[in-house]
Amino acid sequence: MTPPPTPPVPGPGAATSLLTDQYELTMLQGALASGAAGHRSVFEMFARRLPEGRRYGIVAGVGRFLADLERFRFDQAELDFLADRRIVNDVTLDWLAGYRFSGDVWGYAEGEAYFPGSPILVVEASFAEAVLLETLALSVYNHDSAIASAASRMVLAADGRPLIEMGSRRTHERSAVAAARAAYIAGFATTSNLEAGRSYGVPTAGTSAHSFTLLHDSERHAFASQLGSLGTGTTLLVDTYDTLRAVRTAVELAGPELGAVRIDSGDLAAMAKEVRNLLDGLGAHQTRIVVTGDLDEFSIAALAVAPVDGYGVGTALVTGSGAPTASLVYKLVARSDGDDPRLRPVAKRSVGKPSRGGRKWALRRRSAEGLALAEVVTTQEPVPGPHDRPLLRRLVAGGEVVAHEPVQAARERHARTLAELPPTALRLSRGEPDLPTCFE
């Protein structure tokens, strides 16, 4: 037997600095050599476009990024790896050993809507300090915002009915935790993921799978065991053999206080109707019907007229419903000249990937009634009109994180933000971004 591979187990407060592309470090080395490493620089994160057909995006990952930033340092283990593999030279290693981010960061708050060109993160620091954050910032925001953006549409489609996030098994085990968090911010009621419950306080849910029924000699025995152990308020999974027969058995055993039944296969709309009629006929008027099984925002919307009380969503949620990444980029938009401390705009001229130079501000222009009208992005600090809402808030001041908040705050912000978007935002159909982005 060969020896076990080095287990990739992060230590307590493990450094996050190697969750990074190598070129961030080789650029640092080059900049230290050229003397440009200390040039004051502004990097911005933004999306050139939304995923095809989407009308808005939801910013998520802010809290996770800030927590990761506080652990972004090069301890001996990281330095040893870089030295052993000769990834950077000794000058660079010395610099990294003392690295702590000391710059300033502004950004859209978590749960906020964004549009093409919205400067959702603005990092001002020396080039050296700011470039190192590129990969990690993008990883966190691209993943979490993709999930939250998809989740937000599912919540709209569900129109007040609760959604259970249950996609953990369809994505990387740590992405699953972040996905549950992002879904909760965007309005999901609960998650199946226990670590999301522990790490972020997301409410958790879950009762049983088909294997529990198959384990017992009869469905009746399985149901009785579950009811005895979890109480009559539990959710019984009724589609292992014959759904209607299972519903009868369930009510027979639990009485009309049975909490819910779950249907995971077949024609969910038709079956929900049959099950509702049967439950009502048995006097179980309060027993809820939860449906699961490859749901996305469109199939949820299609079930609007079905007698369904809740939806469980898995694969489509954790894969961003067709858009598993948010296409956010992190670009140098301004820098000083070394001797001259004033920032001047920079932008590359590549074909098809234009960038807009200059440091940005943003506000949401709103009508007197509070309806969002436009995303206004400026290269000078704007004077907000009486109904405008500035979108950048300070996240990090002189290297210190100043914007920790519980996920509940982001969840409430998401609800408020959606409420001010024009009605077109509520459409699931493919369309253009819901607000125009005006560069002023």
Work out whether 281 is an interface residue with a copy of itself (CB under 8 A): no
Q: Which are the contacts of 242, defined by CB distance < 8 A and separation ≥ 6? A: none
Residue 424 interacts with a copy of itself (CB under 8 A): yes or no: no
By CB under 8 A, what part of segment 221-260 binds a copy of itself?
Answer: 221-222, 224-226, 228-230, 239-242
d(CA 361, CA 359): 7
Residues 327-356, mask of contacts with a copy of itself (x by CB under 8 A) = x--xxx--x-x--------xxxxxxxx---
For residue 421, which phi and psi values (nearest 5 degrees)? Answer: -75, 150
Specify the residue, 267 or 432, whose C-beta has the smaller distance to a copy of itself: 267
Residue 424 CB, shortest distance to a copy of itself, in Å, is: 28
Closest CA to 105 of 348, 421, 402, 339: 402
327 or 424: CB nearest a copy of itself: 327
Q: Binding segment for a copy of itself among 113-121, 296-304, 315-323, 383-391 (CB under 8 A)?
A: 315-323
Q: How far is the CB of 102 from a copy of itself (least distance, A)?
A: 18
The smaller minimum CB distance to a copy of itself, of residues 113 and 271, is found at: 271
CB of 334 within 8 A of CB of 355? no
Rounded to whole angstroms, the Cα distance separating 430 from 51 reads: 10
52 part of the interface to a copy of itself, by CB under 8 A: no
Contact window for a copy of itself (CB under 8 A) among 106-114, 265-273, 275-283, 303-311? 265-273
Using the minimum distance from each CB to a copy of itself, give the nearer residue, 216 or 387. Answer: 216
Task: Indicate whether 370 belongs to the interface with a copy of itself (CB under 8 A).
Answer: no
> Which C-beta is closer to a copy of itself: that of 155 or that of 166?
166
Name the phi and psi angles at 335, rounded to 5: -160, 160
> Per-residue DSSP letters for 298-323?
HHHHHTTTS---EEEE-HHHHTGGG-
Does residue 270 belong to the site contacting a copy of itself (CB under 8 A)? no
Return the number of the residue (30 or 382) whose C-beta is nearest a copy of itself: 30
Is 38 a binder of a copy of itself (CB under 8 A)? no
The residue (of 201 and 390) whose beta carbon lies closer to a copy of itself is 201
Q: How many residues bind a copy of itself (CB under 8 A)?
A: 136
- Interacting positions 387-406 with a copy of itself (CB under 8 A): 401-406
Question: Site for a copy of itself (CB under 8 A): which residue of 121, 122, 189, 205?
Answer: 205
Site for a copy of itself in 183-202 (CB under 8 A): 192-195, 197-201
Unique residue bearing structure tokens 């014959």: 242
Pairing of strands 260-263, 400-401: unpaired
**Residue 39 or 55 with smaller CB distance to a copy of itself:** 39
The C-alpha atoms of residue 111 and residue 378 are separated, in whole angstroms, by 22
Count of other CB atoms within 10 angstroms of residue 383: 8
In whole angstroms, how close is the CB of 281 to a copy of itself at the nearest point?
23
User: In whole angstroms, how close is the CB of 140 to a copy of itself at the nearest point?
Assistant: 6
Instruction: Tell me which of 4, 341, 386, 423 binds a copy of itself, using CB under 8 A.
Output: 4
H or E, element range at 330? strand 328-335
Radius of gyration over every alpha carbon of the chain, rounded to an integer in angstroms:
25
According to CB under 8 A, which one of 95, 161, 207, 384 is a site residue for a copy of itself? 207
416 is a site residue for a copy of itself (CB under 8 A) = no
Site for a copy of itself in 6-25 (CB under 8 A): 6-14, 16, 18-25
User: φ and ψ at 236, to 5 degrees?
Assistant: -95, 135
Strands ordered across the beta sheet of 361-366:
389-390, 361-366, 372-378, 437-439
- The answer to whether residues 367 and 387 touch, using CB atoms and an 8 Å cutoff, is yes
Q: Which is nearer to a copy of itself, 31 or 50 (CB)?
A: 31
* Residue 399, helix vs strand vs coil: coil
In sign, the C-alpha dihedral spanning 247, 263, 408, 388 is negative
| Closer of 348 and 427 to a copy of itself (Cβ) | 348
d(CA 76, CA 98): 11
Looking at residues 138 to 157 of the shown chain, list those that interact with a copy of itself (rule: CB under 8 A): 138-140, 142-144
Looking at the Cβ atoms of 410 and 425, the one nearer to a copy of itself is 410
Q: Is 122 in the site for a copy of itself (CB under 8 A)?
A: no
How many angstroms separate the CA atoms of 374 and 384, rounded? 13
Q: Which H/E stretch holds residue 41?
A: strand 40-47
**Taking CB under 8 A as the criterion, which residues in 159-188 touch a copy of itself?**
166, 168-178
The residues, ordered by sequence, that sit 6+ positions from 281 with a Cβ below 8 Å of its Cβ are none
